[in-house]
Amino acid sequence: MFMTVVTGLAIGIAAGVVLQRGRFCMNSAFRDTIFIQDYTFMKASLIALLVAMVGANLLEDMGQIEVLRRQSFAPIANILGGYIFGLGIVIAGGCGSGIWFRVGEGMISAFFTVLGFAVSIMASQTGVLSPVVNKLRSFRVGIDEDGALATGWDIVEPLTLYNIFGIDEVFGISFKWIVIAILIAVSLPWLLKEKFARPKKGFAPHVTGILIGLVIVVAWWASEKFGQPIGARGVSYTGPTAELFRWLMNSNLLDPELWQNEEVVDALDDLGVLLPGYAQRGWPPTWSAFLVLGTPIGAYLSARSMKEFKWVVPDAQTMVKVFMGGLIMGFGAVLGGGCNVGHSLTGFSTLAMASVVATIFIILGNWTMVYFLFIKPMKDI
């Protein structure tokens, strides 16, 4: 438990520092590409993804991670959930990681977004919205024991960008690494096309991308070593946000039976869902919950050192708006199986088809809401 707390907090603080000093929010990255045709933070996101992809898969192949957590492909849920989450982050004014680091900067609106996010996640996991989520997530596609596409109980392996072709090796090289090499080769010309501008304060975008990717890689390793029984999980903010709130409100630090009970572990393994009966007995703190807690701490320390910390109190209308955005984000994230970081960086780094599809629809949802909130009103003037 000591190393769970220390490593979770340490990596969360590191994430908060990088996010704050890099002014990095994937809502802004997606939004800026369509709203002002600025690709700076989209490129930073891609750099983070490539670093995380190479690092995480190296750790797996070296045996430092037993198996990367590749999410099952639930096409209906990944599409709908991703799209809804993309809509929500525009209304909320920040993505899953963005709202947490802005809490550390003193933005009261971010507190309300986090609150709506947490409430909605718990309602979607084990509350009133859980039947809808479970129904939509029940249809899954994967690989059976013969290496063919399958659905339902025949699935033995999650669908990925490399096993979907049924190819294991080409000229003795793992097809997984061939796919990774292709993604890098396709991305590099675009990344190298223009130089990144250096900001007056904080990290340059390309440095931010590299550091975020490294944080994700280290988080994969640390969560494997110290995050049992859940194991390797990397950086994520959906399930862990609910885990943090459940622990704070219904703590049970000293009940090892919760960790040893196979039914509880199985429930945790399925997107962090708790069985209601066990949730009433108490919630042990997870490694990822401490990572989430460390993020605003790191952002606060960074903002104070850069003299950027400032309490910002929005008007009542804004607080209601961002709270509603948080509610939409939470439902979309649980339905889709993750947030922008959990899917678009950590999940995508495993090449899981669920994360690839969810990322595409998160971006499409973001662009849809940006159009109706910002672009269309300007055209109507």
The answer to whether 345 and 236 have CB atoms below 8 angstroms apart is no
Which pLDDT value is given to residue 370? 96
Which pLDDT value is given to residue 156? 83
Host H or E run for residue 26: helix 26-35
Which pLDDT value is given to residue 251? 61
- Domain with 193 in it: 2-380
Handedness of CA 205, 210, 215, 216 (dihedral sign): positive
If we measure between CA atoms, which residue out of 147, 183, 151 comes closest to residue 165? 147
d(CA 29, CA 39): 7
What global pTM score does this model have? 0.89
Q: What's the N-to-C CA distance of the chain in angstroms?
A: 58
If we measure between CA atoms, which residue out of 352, 367, 368, 296 comes closest to residue 110? 296
d(CA 171, CA 173): 6
The answer to whether 57 and 177 have CB atoms below 8 angstroms apart is yes
pLDDT along the chain (381 residues), means of 10: 90 97 92 92 96 96 87 95 97 93 95 96 92 93 88 87 88 92 95 80 92 96 84 87 86 51 54 42 76 96 94 94 96 94 93 96 97 88 66
Domain count, the chain: 1
